[in-house]
Amino acid sequence: MPARRTLLIGSILAATLALAGCAGEPGAPTGASTSTAATTPPPTTIPPTPEPTAVDPLETVVALVARPTVLELRSADAAVVAEIDYLEEPTEAIATLTSLFGSDPVDETYAATNHSPGGILHTWGAFTLDERHYDEAKRAENEATDGEFLPYVAVYFDAADNGEIALTTVQGYSAGDDWATVSAAADVTANPSLCTGPAAELADDPGSETQLAVELAHEEGGESVLFISAPVPFYTDGCV
């Protein structure tokens, strides 16, 4: 009996030591704490917002509109993106139009006559910018005294469009439109002297009693508007 009791006590002691060994070293991480550390998400990095790309205003232009004192460059919503003033020197206008049409113009020099100065025609397809070389002394005198309008440039439209750019008057008239319809329109002013075609639009010239027109040119016997030009002196009491 004593030997059996001794054996039983020894077995219990061995089992106790084995369990103590399975418990591991003090301070070892538990399964729960390891799982928590593994599932903690990394901090989120927000990428910087890119700066918007600037749009060239000329890329929005869809129409050139001839007015009596300026050429308007308009976008699809009819907003005026830029203007070319006929009284401004042509350098900037040529640069603007070259950028708009994407090519250099074809240039043609012409001589002065008894009634008009010489100059250079800068042509991009159906659109022409007429650079006029008036006597600079006369121009300076006119500017000092609010004299007659002597433009540095004028414009001509020979078709309804030039590529993707429409060429029109403020009402929407274009070269090639039916002449009978346009000339009879209520917003078109006939010239009683017949020195020029009827005017799609008129504006006062501060230095003269003669108004400035956007002309609808017509060839006798023709059935359509031949071309549109501006600015044109609207002489009503005789040709000059």
User: In sequence order, what DSSP letters do the residues of the chain get, joined into one string?
Assistant: -HHHHHHHHHHHHHHHHHHHHHT-STTPPPHHHHHHHHTPPPPP-PPPPPPPPPPPGGGGEEEEEE-SSEEEEEETTS-EEEEEETTS-HHHHHHHHHHHHTSPPEEEEE---SSS-EEEEEEETTEEEEEEE--HHHHHHHHHHT-S---SEEEEE-SSEETTEEEE-TT---TTSBHHHHHT-TT-B--TT-SS--EEEEE--TT-SSEEEEEEE--TT-SB--EEEEEEEE-SSS--
More confident residue, 211 or 45: 211
pLDDT given for residue 214 in this prediction: 98
In a domain, 66, yes or no: yes
In a domain, 10, yes or no: no
How many domains does one find in the chain?
A: 1
In a domain, 82, yes or no: yes
pLDDT given for residue 2 in this prediction: 47
Q: How confident is the model at residue 51 (pLDDT cuts 50, 70, 90)?
A: confident
pLDDT given for residue 135 in this prediction: 86
In a domain, 9, yes or no: no
pTM: predicted TM-score of the whole model, two decimal places: 0.76
In a domain, 186, yes or no: yes
In a domain, 224, yes or no: yes
In a domain, 37, yes or no: no
Q: How confident is the model at residue 71 (pLDDT cuts 50, 70, 90)?
A: very high
* Residue 99 structural domain: 57-234
Q: What is the mean pLDDT of residues 49-66?
A: 88
Q: At residue 21, does pLDDT exceed 80? A: no
